[in-house]
Structure 1
C-alpha cells in the first residue's frame, strides 16, 4: 500500500484487545490511546466504565470534518487492499468490502461519542513527539498503526523521540504492528531497541492473536 500521508482509519475494542494482548486487568488501567483516530475503542471502553484518553491531531477537527476525511480516503485504501489482497489474512474479514464496512462501523460509533468525549477531555488534539501530560500520568499506552507502520513518512529520529515521550507519560507502552504499509518489517527496529535499552527500558517483541497484514502479528512491549 502506498500512502503519501497518515490517514484516519478506525478500529474496535475487540481489535485492540487482540492487537495488544489486553487482559481484563489491562482494561482496568489508566490508558492512553495514541493515534486512535476514528476508532471506537474509547467509546466502547467508556461504556464499560473504563478510563481512556485518546490523542490524535485529527481531534482538532469537527466530527463532520473527520468523517469527510475518512470518506475522502476510503476508496483509495479499499482499492489498494483489493489490488494486493494476497498480502492480507482474510480471517476476521471476508474481503476488502467487508473490511471497509467494519472500518466505517467503527467510525460511526466513534462519531456518536466524539463531541461528548471531546467535552469530557477524552479526545485531545495532541501530536507526538511532544505531549501535554505529566510524567507517569498513565499506566498503559497503546499505539496502534502509527509508529513503524508509517516508516516512509516518519523518520527513525521521530520514532526514537516519540517512544521516549510515550514512556515519559506512561509506565508501559505497547506498539502494534511492527511492519510497514508494504508488510515488510520495520528496518530500524534494532536501532530503536538499542535506544530504549540505553535509556534504561526493557523492550520485548511478543506474538499476538491478531493478524490482518501478513506478518503483522507481533507487538512491541516496553517498560522500565
Structure 2
C-alpha cells in the first residue's frame, strides 16, 4: 500500500495540472493519475481504520472487564463488613470470637478466603493493638522450619519486627502471638503452636493481575470513605451501605 502511494505521487505532475486549468483541457492521463492518487489515499485510510478498530475494541473489553472486577470486589467487601471484617489501609481484618491452635486458626482463615495476619508496618501494628482489645492473638508468623528463622505465611522473610523484651526465647515455641505484654507496639512473643488463642485473619483487597491496586488510583473514589485511617473508632463505624451507595 505504501509503495502504491509512492508511485501515485511520483506520477502526479503539478505543472500539467496547472496547464489543464489554464487551457480548460484535461488530458486523460491527468484524470487517471488524480483518480489513482485518490484511490490510494482512501486505501491507506481504510487500512489504518481496520488496524485501529480491533485495538480500540480490545481496549474497550479490557476496561469493561476491569469495571466488572471492581464492582465484584465492592460487592464482596460489602458482604465482608456484614460478617465482621474491619477495613484498614489496603486490607480487611477479622478477629475470632473463639480460641484455637495456630494451625487450626490458619485453617479457619483460609476457609474465609484469607490467611493469618501479616504485619508490615508500625501503623498496622498499632491498629492491631486496638483491634484485639487486650487479647493475645495468633499472627501469621512461624519459625518451624529452622530455629531462629522466622517467616510469614506467604513465605516472605521477617523484616519488620515488634518483639517484646527478651523475645523470642523458646526452643520449642515456633508460633508467634501479638499482645504478650501491654506495650502497644513491641509485644510479640513466641509460643507453643498448640496453645488455644484467638486469631486475626487478613485479606488483601483490590487485587488485579497479581498486583495490588492502590486506592488512590480510583479517581471516582473517596478513600476516606472506603478504608478509614488507623482510628479504630472510624473503622468500627464503617458500614457496607456506603459501598453500595457509591456503586450506584
TM-score by length of structure 1 reads 0.23
